[in-house]
Amino acid sequence: METLTLIQKVAVFALPVLLAITVHEAAHGWMASRLGDKTALMLGRVTLNPLKHVDPMGTIVVPLLTMFTGFIFGWAKPVPVNWNNLQHPRRDMGLVALAGPGANLIMAVFWGLVIKFAVLILHSAEWVAIPLIYMGGAGVLINIILMVLNLTPILPLDGGRVLSALLPPRMALAFSRLEPYGLIIIVLLLVSGMLGRILWPVALFVLDLLPASNIVKQLFLS
């Protein structure tokens, strides 16, 4: 496989990044609706239409700027969840938080299978197979990164929500007071390079469990 130019990398990553971020948010809304809160559903946020979830800065600009820093970062418009409508608020908020990274894991497996399919048709339809292989590799990589990043136990990330749901109420309340500083902490970790050093080993471990992991490594990590 040839090394991609900057424009080719942007083209290859565009759809996987857009889907990874928007499906992640839609999954939050879907889980919330299943657990009793229809807020996101009524606002049209339980949809795969990316226009409903796109945040111009977080979904487009930031991922493009961080694509070549070693760890892609981005976000979509948060899905509104009214915890008062949930049957078991603390537990259900944890489940709603897990739905997003869970969706990223499913999409990573899907993109891995896309690569497998593309390899099968490589000799008969190279003009289709090669773009699919590159896009599949980008899809696997971005979804793993977003899954691992979002499971980091820092509020307002999903991992922070899950940790808050697991902590005893008093400890959860104290932990929640750190949320206003969460994004600052994440950005500092990202800029310093510590975020990548902490999360890359976990991301690579997950990658090794997925279909076509050797091809993804060859394309983007060699």
pLDDT of 130 reads: 93
Is 79 strand, coil or helix? coil
pLDDT of 74 reads: 67
Give the residue extent of every domain in the chain: 6-220
pLDDT of 183 reads: 86
Q: Decide: 152 and 159 in contact? Cβ < 8 Å.
A: yes
Q: Which helix (H) or strand (E) holds 160?
A: helix 158-166
For residue range 136-164, what is the model confidence (pLDDT) as tens digits? 999 999 999 999 999 999 999 999 999 99
pLDDT of 48 reads: 83
Point out the residues that are catalytic: 25
Percentage of the chain with pLDDT > 90? 64
Sign of CA dihedral 210, 216, 218, 221: negative
